[in-house]
Amino acid sequence: MAHTLSTGSGVALGLIRSGQANTRSDLIEQLGWSRITLARRLDELLVSGLVMSVGQQDSRGGRPPEDFAVNPAAGLLLAVDIGGSHTRLAITDLVSTILSEDEADIGLSEGPQEIFDWAGQVFDFMLERLGKTPGDVVGIGVGVPGPVDSVTGRLASPQVDPQWDGVLVQDYFAKRYDHAVFAVDRDVNIAALAEARRGWSEYHDVAVLKAGIGVGLAFVLGGAIYRGTRGGAGDLSRARLDGGPLERLETVASGAVIRQELLRRGYKVRTSADIVNLARTGDVEVRRLIADTGTVIGQTLADVANLLNPEAIVVGGTLAQAGEIFLGSIRTAIFAGARDFATQGLVVEASRLGAAAGVTGASLIAQDALFEPDRISRLTRGGATGVNLRAKGN
């Protein structure tokens, strides 16, 4: 393989984090470094407390190889997954294991100030319950239901709700956590990242649909999120039968459209979870609306299957909790509309992470920002003990 030119500790940590190499011999094989260089970098990571030895692998002879892993207890990450009508929060360790979580029926329409004020208060309570303080937080990841400028971290304009146009999410956390590394991305992107790394890691090319009050689509291609030039990849549209301008998919097939129709018929619904709960009670009309919505979404995804030829299309979000009445309609429409070549071997299945996909993905993007290789290489240079992951300017 082509060897990297960088020999900083952050490069070795990246391979350990990903699971691609966890022993000295595997790291040397992957990196092409000398044993002396690798020993120095591993010593820097071990002394810093970021990496720990987790025992030895079985060996057929000689000294068993030592296994290395990220130290999960070296700090805490905060994760926020904002949806159209529901928001989830989680505190995780440094390998994105959820330690505490909370949620509420608060979403896009409430606006950024209300959502982030609520999140800050809930995180304070959750930290106290864990016996931790804001000073233990080293990274924050946030998913928002709209495109994000990947360079500035500012929400692109226009958003679905104008309250979010041009918002810099980091500003809302600055007072409580000005020391923490920060990352923000589209809600469906973070869900896709989690599904690709933790749910469907056997596939390299995956399309992930998030269907709730809104509808979003994200792509993991070659193992990496594809965001497009301005962060807007995956904004689906549907052709009008009358030949008029394209319609955004979520204006004709989404939880919001179902909710509007149910309200017109006298139902009392507010969130996509309310819709799913009605379907679970056997309400025939609600189940029909969900199935029809799945069919329209699947017809649009048939074009995605043709254009990108993914290995899997993963369906998540609250509407996916309705089960086969939604997923089955999507699958049937994709296989009816896509070319035979595109559907050969294509997997169309529900999320393996379920409701945890969003906060897991938010934690993962915080991890990625925190453990950016050059940053870690600078922090650990010289073998500093107990590296401060919150250090500003790094």
What confidence score (pLDDT) does residue 117 get?
95
- Kindly report the number of other CB atoms within 10 A of residue 237's CB atom: 15
Residues 20-49 have pLDDT tens digits of: 999 999 999 999 999 999 999 999 999 999
326 within 8 A of 293, measured Cβ to Cβ:
yes
- Res. 6 pLDDT band, cuts 50 70 90: confident
How many CA atoms lie less than 13 Å away from 327 in the CB half-sphere? 17
Angle at 176 between CA 173 and CA 178, to 5 degrees: 70
Assess contact for 30 and 22: CB atoms under 8 A: no
Reported pTM:
0.91
Within 10 A of 26 (CB to CB), how many other CB atoms are there? 17
What domains does the chain contain, in order, with CATH numbers?
9-70 (1.10.10.10), 73-191+357-380 (3.30.420.40), 201-351 (3.30.420.40)
The residue among 238 and 310 whose pLDDT is bigger is: 310
**For 254-301, what is each residue's pLDDT tens digit?**
999 999 999 999 999 999 999 999 999 999 999 999 999 999 999 999
3-state secondary structure of 75: coil
pLDDT digits (tens, 9 = 90+) for 177-220: 988 999 999 999 999 999 999 999 999 999 999 999 999 999 99
Identify which of 77, 361, 348 has the alpha carbon closest to the alpha carbon of residue 225.
361
Query: Which parts of the chain are beta strand (E)?
Result: 51-56, 66-70, 76-82, 87-92, 98-104, 137-144, 181-186, 206-211, 215-221, 224-226, 237-238, 247-248, 312-316, 347-350
pLDDT digits (tens, 9 = 90+) for 158-175: 787 889 999 999 999 988
Residue 5: the pLDDT is 45
Confidence bin at 2 (pLDDT 50/70/90): very low
Average pLDDT over residues 154-161: 83
